[in-house]
Amino acid sequence: MPIDFLNLKQVNAPYEADIRDAIGRVIESGWYVLGEETRAFEQAFADYCGVAHCVGVANGLDALHLILRAYGIGAGDEVIVPANTFIATWLAVSQVGARIVPVEPDERTANIDPARIEAAVTSRTRAIVPVHLYGQPADIAAIEAIAQRHGLRVIEDAAQAHGATWRGRRTGSLGDAAGFSFYPGKNLGALGDGGAITTNDAVLAQTLRKLRNYGSSVKYRHDLAGQNSRLDDIQSAILRVKLRHLDADNARRAALAAVYLNGLAGVPVGLPHVLDDAMPVWHLFVIRTGARAALQAHLASQGIATQIHYPTPNHRQAAYAAEAWPDLPITDKLQSEVLSLPFAPYMTEETVLTVCASIREFFARCGHDGTRA
């Protein structure tokens, strides 16, 4: 039996009956945008994250972009972002016309290295956007301390970390505001695109409610030149169903991660490192190896699918070729070595052990660096 990297039909299978009911309810209601389902989901997700406000939007990129816009960050401003992240974190900054200031990761966690942030702060810096990559909270205590010293906003990119905690506090509540994505493959995934912003800032939330809806809170009165970026009621209804199971799903992910960590102990690969204060939700299970291409080919030959998050660093993408970036050797190194193993809550421990056995076999045959492959 081939082992998928991630099979979304299998992810949603346990909830299929409830999801069909939810969709049916929305069809019956005759109200499909900014209706009761969206209001109810926003309330439930705000409660879940431990914040006062949640504003549903069209996707995770819009969530980040709209936060920056609502804070008035734009041309002439600088925003500190991880060098090592999905490109959406960078695109949000580009969209408001601010300057991207990439900071290298802590090699152990792949998250932004707080020790390198302060050197990147200038008089133009307005915000830091930590990403909780692969589901592990960034070192928010250190980041918050720097932000306070310099009067900066902290905007979490929580697109991979629904439910993760830092010293017991949920992502989404750790900074001034947070952007979430409900893209189908995320820990809390819709059956289409979706996103949300969480915050305790009432003024920000009010501005965001306008910005996502043509700059309007009263029909045909437009206070701002806004956008159309709304979470629709069918996706909201589906997300209400899936939110009820998020903690159980995340617990299952943690159990499977533990099986991987045990199963790969002693194998010459870099394993995920969890910070003492962090409780990750294991969006991905990512190992590191200098023999990545050979290992990936070996696994593929045994029907085991893997992926690379992400194969090309943002500063080497064509989209950003026109700009002069600093050398980012840690990001380059990480992105040449990372390999994401099959990972989803529906997996059995046996399947995880099959993947581990295949990886062990590869290194037993090919040596530590895979050179005898």
Nearer to ligand PLP, 57 or 120 (CB): 57
Query: Which amino acid is it at 329?
Result: P
Candidates 202, 199, 245; CA nearest to 14 is 245
Distance CA 66, CA 56 (A): 11
Concatenating the DSSP letter of every residue in 312-345 gives S-GGGSGGGTTS-PPP-HHHHHHHHHEEEEP--T
SS3 252: helix
Nearer to ligand PLP, 161 or 291 (CB): 161
Query: Cα-atom radius of gyration of the chain, to the nearest Å?
Result: 21
Least gap, CB of 194 to ligand PLP (angstroms): 7
Given the rule CB under 6 A, which residues bind ligand PLP? Answer: 59-61, 85-86, 88-89, 131, 157, 159-160, 181, 183, 193, 195
From 9, 186, 210, 333, the catalytic residue: 186
Q: Which residues of 76-105 are buried (b: 16+ CB within 10 A; e: fewer)?
A: ebbbbbbbbbbbbbbbbbbbbebebbbbbb
Nearer to ligand PLP, 181 or 227 (CB): 181
Nearer to ligand PLP, 195 or 270 (CB): 195
Least gap, CB of 89 to ligand PLP (angstroms): 5
Helix, strand, coil percent content, the chain, rounded in steps of 5? 40, 15, 40
Least gap, CB of 61 to ligand PLP (angstroms): 4
Nearer to ligand PLP, 187 or 351 (CB): 187
**187, 246 in Cβ contact below 8 A?**
yes
Residue nearest to ligand PLP (CB): 60
186 is catalytic: yes
Least gap, CB of 183 to ligand PLP (angstroms): 4
Least gap, CB of 66 to ligand PLP (angstroms): 12
Residues annotated as catalytic are: 186
